[in-house]
Amino acid sequence: HEIGQDLSLLSVGELSERIGILRDEIARLETELKTKDNTKSAAEALFRRG
């Protein structure tokens, strides 16, 4: 899937499939964001103590 792609030629099934793929990708991105945020918070706490 390409962001901004013309969707008019896709079937209902193809659109549903892409939505599922994008939802999975969003979940993956959110997980990574939380991981990085937790790492950043831990590092900031460490430097505040020192």
pLDDT along the chain (50 residues), means of 10: 92 97 98 93 82
Residue 23: the pLDDT is: 98
Residue 50: the pLDDT is: 62
| pTM of model > 0.85 | no
b/e per residue, 4-36, with b = 16+ CB within 10 A?
eeeeeeeeeeeeeeeeeeeeeeeeeeeeeeeee
Map out the domains of the chain as residue ranges.
12-50
